[in-house]
Each structure stands twice: as C-alpha cells, then as structure tokens.
Amino acid sequence: MQPNKTIAIAGATGAVGIEILKCLEQRQFPVGELKLLASARSAGRTLPFQGEDVVVEELTPDSFKGVDVALFSAGGGISKEFAPHAVAAGCVVVDNSSAFRMDAGVPLIVPEINPEDANDHNGIIANPNCTTIISLMGLNPMHQVFGGVKKIIASSYQAVSGSGAQGIIELENQVAALASGEPIPKQEVYPRQIAFNVIPHVDVFQDNGYTKEEMKMHYEGRKILHSDILKASVTCVRVPVYRSHAVSITATFKNEPDVETARAAIMKAPGVQVWDDITEEPPLYPTPLDCTNQDDCLVGRIRRDIVLDKALTFWVVGDQVRKGAALNAVQIAELL
C-alpha cells in the first residue's frame, strides 16, 4: 500500500460517509489529503479526522482533480451524475450505490471473496448491496468446500438504519408516541407502522412479485461468486432494530454438506466468525446487537436442512452500515 493517497468521500455527511471516515482512521489508511464532498447545504460543516476538523466542500464536477480514490455514498443518482467526472479526472471510484453494480465492465467486490476481480476495472468498482454482502460472507466458505452453491432461500431482517437517518427517527417517534399514549405520527418512511411491527416490504416491487432489494441477492450473488447456476428466492423484511441486518438462509450445494465441515470452513475464513453452540446456557447464537459497530459478520444456527437435499440452513448477522457499506468500500480501496 503506497502512502499519501488523496481520498475523496462523496456523501461525506451521511451515515455511511461518516462511517467511512471512521474506517479510514481506524484502519490507518494512508491518507495524504482528504476531500469531504456533499450537497451545497452541507458545505462548510466540519468533520473530525485524525485529530483535525476537515471542512466539507460542495460536490461539483470539478471536485476530483488530483484525487486518487473517490468513495461514493450519496445515492445512485449522484453516482451516475458525478462518477464519470471523477473517472475523467483520473480517479478510481468505489461506488456504494446500485448505479453500476450490474454493468458488465464494473467489478462487484467483496474483498474476502473475489478480490482479484478488482484488478479488471475501467475506473469504477461497485460495492454490493448490504444484505448481499452479509449473506455471502456467511455463505462463501460453504460455497468453496461443498462444490458450489446452487440455490438460496432466504429471509432478511433489516434494520431501520438501512433507510437512512429518517428510518431511525420514524421508529423513535412511533415508540415514544406509543409509550406516552399519544397518536402515532404520520408514516413517511415506511408504508406501515414500524414500531413493534415487521414489514415484508423493502424497496419497490417488480413485475415478478419480488422487490428490487430481494432480486439483488440473486443477480449480485451470481456475479460475485461467478456462478451462472445460482438462484436466490428472498423475502426482505424491515424490523424495528436500529442497526445491523440478520438473514436466515437455506442453501443447497452441488456436493453433500455437513455441519462440522461448514463450521470449520467459516472459522478459517476472514471477516466472519462462528457463534454456534446450542448446548451452552444460554445457547450461543448471534444477534444484531452482537455485531453492531463490529467488522466481522457472525454465523450461527448451522444445521442440516430437513426438507431439501444437500442443504444447510443457517443464520448470519452483520453491521450493514459498516461491513455492508463503509468497511467494504474502504477494503476495496485498500486492494487498489
């Protein structure tokens, strides 16, 4: 890793942008110069980095002169508008939106799984969807030892912070109203009450009845794992949890799987831990709180599926702001 890189963060004042700053500092990324970019209304704010206050600048097409790597986390529309300007200025873009993920010339990277793909880029590298990253961190070690995964049936339990700060505020306001006996405020972020409820609806519905979020694991999983046979049927559910996603997965494999081999493979894999011992008191399995603000994803409840042949069922949790977004982007920058 060469020192003195000029790094830009587009969307620096958002939740993921702020987490990117933390990851750069905690991982001692060799930042020579740092440019924090955001909308005009955020320009002039300061954010702390390595003991200094860095002033946020307005994001413009000319923001990327002299920048080596730009980490984008400002939404797909902003990425489509400004990433080409960054590339034209000689900058490599690591994009956290869905804008370029399925483009043929754009590698889709989880550094613990397919780091070699990052070498073949044309100026843009995409960060996968957070639920896809967390799921594949648990699944990939089994994919490697059991001859490849064929099918995935999964249900996600996605935290409100996946909707941004407004998702957290809506949950807090509804809980406060219910606790005090006041009328629940008008729902603005979610189509139903999220407090003390779960909503089987994340992202927009598609013609096939799945949501866009649910189809991401199917398409992105195939690209990341280089598998043309992988199929994924997913139900994404929003739950009243502040941070960190959980996913229940049943996966079928080419070869006959077994639980102990799966546990051993996960224990050897980087970025993921096994928390799986139901003989303990209380039983050991991970929850979203266990991985919040942590780098690693956690896997538990590994068991042989009793319905499908050559299948295992397991539970994986991960901090979707960190490994599902910011940390993964910084790890991609480290690969560069």
Domain map of the chain by residue range?
A: 5-127+325-335, 132-320
Query: Tens digit of pLDDT for each residue in 29-83?
Result: 999 999 999 999 999 999 999 999 999 999 999 999 999 999 999 999 999 999 9
The whole-number pLDDT of residue 3 equals 62
pLDDT at 2 over 70: no
The whole-number pLDDT of residue 1 equals 45
CATH match of 132-320 with 3.30.360.10: yes
Q: Beta strand 5-10 with 31-38: parallel, antiparallel or unpaired?
A: parallel
Question: Which residues are 37's β-sheet partners?
Answer: 10, 57
The whole-number pLDDT of residue 35 equals 97
CATH class of the domain at 5-127+325-335 = alpha beta
Q: How confident is the model at residue 148 (pLDDT cuts 50, 70, 90)?
A: very high
The whole-number pLDDT of residue 164 equals 87
Residue 33 near residue 57 (C-beta atoms within 8 A): no
Query: Tens digit of pLDDT for each residue in 187-198?
Result: 999 999 999 999
Cα dist from 111 to 91, 126, 196, 287, whole Å: 20, 11, 36, 24
pLDDT at 303 over 80: yes
If you average pLDDT over residues 289-300, what whole number do you get? 97
pLDDT at 316 over 90: yes
**Rounded CA separation 70/34 (Å):** 10
- Sheet containing 149-158: order of strands: 231-238, 149-158, 245-253, 311-318, 297-304, 272-274
Question: Catalytic positions, please?
Answer: 130, 245
The whole-number pLDDT of residue 4 equals 81
If you average pLDDT over residues 309-327, what whole number do you get? 97
Write the DSSP symbol of residue 123: S
Write the DSSP symbol of residue 143: H
Single out the residue of 302, 325, 165 nearest to residue 245, CA to CA.
Answer: 325
The token pair at 13 is 């004042």
If you average pLDDT over residues 263-282, what whole number do you get? 97
Give the containing element (helix H, strand E) for 77: helix 76-88
